[in-house]
Amino acid sequence: MKKLIMAAGLAVMLTACGSQEKKAAEGENPFFTEYNTPYGVPPFDQIKLEHYKPAILAGLEEGRKEIDAIVNNPEDPTFENTIVALDKQGALLRKVQIVFGGQNSVNTNDEMQALSREMSPLLSKYSDDINLNPALFARVKAVYDKRDSLGLDKEQLKLVEETYKDFERGGANLSPEDQAKLRELNSKISMLQLTFGQNMLKETNAFKLVIEKKEDLSGLPENLVATAAETAKAMGMEGKWVFTLQNPSVMPFLQYADNRELRKQIFEAYINRGNNNNENDNKAVVRDLVATRLAKANLMGYKDYASFVLEERMAKNSANVYKLLDEVWKPALAKAKEELADINAEIKKEGGNFEAEGWDWRYYFEKAKKAKFNLDENEVRPYLKLENVRDGVFYVANKLYGINFKQLNDMPLPYKEAQCFEVTDKDGSLLGVVYFDFFPRASKRGGAWCGTYRPQSYKDGKRVPPVVTIVTNFTQPAPGQPALLSADEANTLFHEFGHGLHNLFKDVHYSGVSGVPRDFVELPSQINEHWAFEPEVLKVYAKHYQTGEVMPTELIEKLDKSGKYGQGFATVEYLAASYLDMDFHALSGQAADQKVLKFVDQTNQVPANFDVMDFEKQTLSRRGLLKQIPSRYRSTYFNHTMGGGYTAGYYSYIWSEVLDCDAYEAFVETGDIFNQEVAQKFRQYVLTPGGIDDAMVMYKNFRGKEPGTDPLLKNRGLK
Ligand SMILES: [Zn+2]
């Protein structure tokens, strides 16, 4: 009795204390009030590091209460009181997380990273508690079972189905014993994925190519030599040069270094990461991952892990993925053999008496390319001033969709040098706000991406416009100089802005149907790249930053032709990795392909003596992969598939590319790359519906037929 009173007293005290604290915090923590900013963008200037944690904790608490309210609702489950309520729950948590996630990518520091590690288990427990909540699932299932009699519209029906499927795929339908097994398998998988990534990082950092003699630098561009000297200095080896296995170091080394023996050393170190039989070896990790994923798939009732994954994708099943890979493989391999012949000819021309090896490819390809096209990257940059390219991106969007852009000053910015634009539709209504953050800095993640600081949604029947952010890491100009982009960088801006358009045009009522499958998501971005180098578009934006002269036709043609050269190698190394990813995850005791059966025993288990490298070798050599081209990622450093994220999904890039090439063909066929009718259809059927429709249905609504691979093969110069 005494104990009870004490506990009750404590509870009262805690509540009192809690509400006081919350009251004090509410006064200053911007997450606890409606944003009072233009366009309702996050008040970046007011958000401080110390605001995140209390807001996330409050968001978790609020979310739990919302879930409890759904479960304890005395009324029968309905679409509104269960499915919609579930879709809306966690609003505060999402509001904080979207800002924290964005800022942690572009303005990170040790404290933010520590906070994200601290919050990670709380957040995954929160989602487990939702997914495996039997009372909640019972209500969802009740609505799902009678979904056809509820008079729901298409979007609502899709939301019910997606919600139910999420629970099902999270294990809600399993027996309690199997749920316990699933939790165990899930935690084993995440642990292995983490180990894989950590080993890979250690192995990448473990190797250094230290050069002591100046003559060994022969062939390397000046800037690369300077960086290598800096790296050496930072490692306490002043006066020497260090090359590493990071891509910006190893790849240009392989491309330019005249010393064949050194190329061989760094190449072999690169392709053997995680395969050195030391404490960072990843072979056993890969084996365990493949085995555990297969066990999970079987527990969930699927014959292999790829089937479990692909059910949710546009591709639907392994057979469809393999069909595409096989269709592109043959012509790509033929093209790679032509490139190999050019490479061997270059070796002969130099008086070499050997056949090309893996460490020769990039080096002699570079020479062959120069001999053929005589194109210097530095000729192009003056025509691609950043502001001009950005305006070119806007020009294309305006020509296609009639939308307009206005730069906004005095806005709260996610980073102090970010730019902000208002985007309005052709009728003048507000579509959304777009931020750009162009240059690298130490606190920013590498690469380029498009995200949101507020996704499109509806509130009280009114559309809430999205706040979109486009982040790149373009070459930083010298002080006082304009930023002049490479052709690749210009292409990247068109790409990311394509994702931006997808976000801006989206018009859905529920967040549960906002997303599209991974193998569809690159369609809006990749199609936007097609306009970037069209001569009629270049004439508008590609003007010399000093003279204003339009990029010469001859240069445009050189750019076009040289861009296709090398697609044999690029396509083959990409497809090899895609096959490898699929083959690992299509393994099962019932494998249709007899050639992989020997790797799995009768009971559908991956045996303990499963040899990862032998599997890789067999899987690639039986398809005729050239010995000079390793898979873009080998098994022991294939983080896309082994680290998670792109498991049975590395094929997605080329799947989306089939779509974007075929979709662009719809414009080209009319003789007008800005055809208004086609643009209108693309917007309506592809860019607007989010995930309301099945991806193939969306595509056929737009195109009137399924996509074919011909435009892709032509675009890559493989046909
Ligand atoms: Zn993309």
Q: What pLDDT does 602 receive? A: 60
Q: What pLDDT does 620 receive? A: 95
| Cα–Cα distance measured from residue 449 to residue 577, given in angstroms and rounded to the nearest whole number | 23
- Between the CA of 497 and the centroid of ligand 1 the distance, in Å, is 9
CB 492 within 8 A of CB 470: no
The residue type at 84: V
102: helix, coil or strand?
A: helix
Q: Locate 356 and state its tokens.
A: 């090309």
* Residues forming the active site: 496
CB 405 within 8 A of CB 433: no
- Between the CA of 530 and the centroid of ligand 1 the distance, in Å, is 14
667: helix, coil or strand?
A: helix
Q: What's the pTM value of the predicted model, to 2 decimals? A: 0.88
- Between the CA of 499 and the centroid of ligand 1 the distance, in Å, is 7
| Cα–Cα distance measured from residue 139 to residue 602, given in angstroms and rounded to the nearest whole number | 40
Question: How far, in Å, are 352, 354, 362, 461 from residue 345 at the CA level?
Answer: 9, 11, 14, 67
Query: DSSP for 416-476?
Result: TT-EEEEEE-TTS-EEEEEEEE-S--TTS-SS-EEEEEE--EEETTEEE--EEEEE--PPP
Q: Shortest CA distance to 126 belongs to which of 198, 57, 180, 194?
A: 57
User: CA torsion 299→300→303→305, rounded to 10°?
Assistant: -100
Q: Locate 245 and state its tokens.
A: 């296995």
- Between the CA of 638 and the centroid of ligand 1 the distance, in Å, is 19
- Between the CA of 656 and the centroid of ligand 1 the distance, in Å, is 10
Question: Residues whose CB is under 5 A from ligand 1 (ion)?
Answer: 525
For the chain, the helix, strand and coil percentages under 3-state DSSP, each to the nearest 5:
60, 5, 35
Instruction: Classify the phi-psi angles of 452: left when phi > 0, otherwise alpha if psi is within -120 to 50, otherwise beta.
Output: beta
- The DSSP element (H or E) to which 404 belongs, if any, is strand 404-407
Eight-state DSSP code of residue 551: P
- Residue whose structure tokens are 């572009």: 106
242: helix, coil or strand?
A: strand
- Between the CA of 653 and the centroid of ligand 1 the distance, in Å, is 9
- Between the CA of 419 and the centroid of ligand 1 the distance, in Å, is 21
Where in 228-300 does DSSP place strands (E)? 241-243
CATH architecture for the domain at 381-559:
Orthogonal Bundle (1.10)
Nearest 5°: CA angle at 504, between 498 and 505? 95
| Cα–Cα distance measured from residue 253 to residue 292, given in angstroms and rounded to the nearest whole number | 38
The residue type at 180: A
Burial 302-329 (b: 16+ CB within 10 A, else e): bbbbbbbbbeebbbbebebbbebbebbb
Q: What pLDDT does 296 receive? A: 94
CA of residue 181 relative to chain centroid, distance: 30
| Cα–Cα distance measured from residue 212 to residue 237, given in angstroms and rounded to the nearest whole number | 10
- Between the CA of 469 and the centroid of ligand 1 the distance, in Å, is 13
Strands 430-437 and 467-471: parallel
- Between the CA of 450 and the centroid of ligand 1 the distance, in Å, is 8
Please enumerate in sequence order all residues whose Cβ is within 8 A of that of 231, keeping only pairs 6 or more positions apart, or say none.
Answer: 241, 242, 243, 244, 249
Q: What pLDDT does 593 receive? A: 53
Please enumerate in sequence order all residues whose Cβ is within 8 A of that of 630, keeping only pairs 6 or more positions apart, or say none.
Answer: 271, 358, 573, 576
CA of residue 342 relative to chain centroid, distance: 34
- The DSSP element (H or E) to which 564 belongs, if any, is helix 553-564
Please enumerate in sequence order all residues whose Cβ is within 8 A of that of 675, keeping only pairs 6 or more positions apart, or say none.
Answer: 667
Cα separation of the two ends of the chain: 84
- Between the CA of 489 and the centroid of ligand 1 the distance, in Å, is 13
| Cα–Cα distance measured from residue 252 to residue 22, given in angstroms and rounded to the nearest whole number | 55
Nearest 5°: CA angle at 300, between 619 and 304? 10
| Cα–Cα distance measured from residue 485 to residue 475, given in angstroms and rounded to the nearest whole number | 7
Query: DSSP for 266-280?
Result: HHHHHHTTT-SSSTT
Q: Locate 225 and state its tokens.
A: 């030599």
Please enumerate in sequence order all residues whose Cβ is within 8 A of that of 268, keeping only pairs 6 or more positions apart, or say none.
Answer: 359
| Sign of the Cα pseudo-torsion (18, 23, 29, 33, in order) | positive
| Cα–Cα distance measured from residue 48 to residue 44, given in angstroms and rounded to the nearest whole number | 8
- Between the CA of 620 and the centroid of ligand 1 the distance, in Å, is 27
- Between the CA of 520 and the centroid of ligand 1 the distance, in Å, is 10
Eight-state DSSP code of residue 484: B
CB 104 within 8 A of CB 444: no
| Sign of the Cα pseudo-torsion (670, 672, 674, 677, in order) | negative
> What number of CA atoms fall less than 13 Å from residue 173's CA on the CB side?
11
CB 289 within 8 A of CB 642: yes
- Between the CA of 448 and the centroid of ligand 1 the distance, in Å, is 8
- Between the CA of 409 and the centroid of ligand 1 the distance, in Å, is 28
**Ranges of the chain with pLDDT below 70:** 1-27, 589-604
Enumerate the CATH 1.10.1370.40 domain ranges in the chain, comma separated.
Answer: 2-131+133-169, 381-559
For 2-131+133-169, CATH number out of 1.10.760.10, 1.10.1370.40, 2.60.40.10, 1.10.10.410 equals 1.10.1370.40
Question: How far, in Å, are 394, 443, 506, 626, 710 from residue 231 at the CA level?
Answer: 39, 19, 45, 34, 46
- Between the CA of 139 and the centroid of ligand 1 the distance, in Å, is 37
| Cα–Cα distance measured from residue 526 to residue 654, given in angstroms and rounded to the nearest whole number | 10
CB 137 within 8 A of CB 167: yes
Q: Locate 572 and state its tokens.
A: 């083959």
- The DSSP element (H or E) to which 583 belongs, if any, is helix 567-585
- Between the CA of 490 and the centroid of ligand 1 the distance, in Å, is 14
Q: Within a 10 A sphere around the Cβ of 23, how many other Cβ atoms?
A: 10
- Between the CA of 488 and the centroid of ligand 1 the distance, in Å, is 14
- Residue whose structure tokens are 């230290």: 210
- Residue 407's DSSP bridge partners are 421
Nearest 5°: CA angle at 666, between 662 and 668? 105
CB 169 within 8 A of CB 146: no
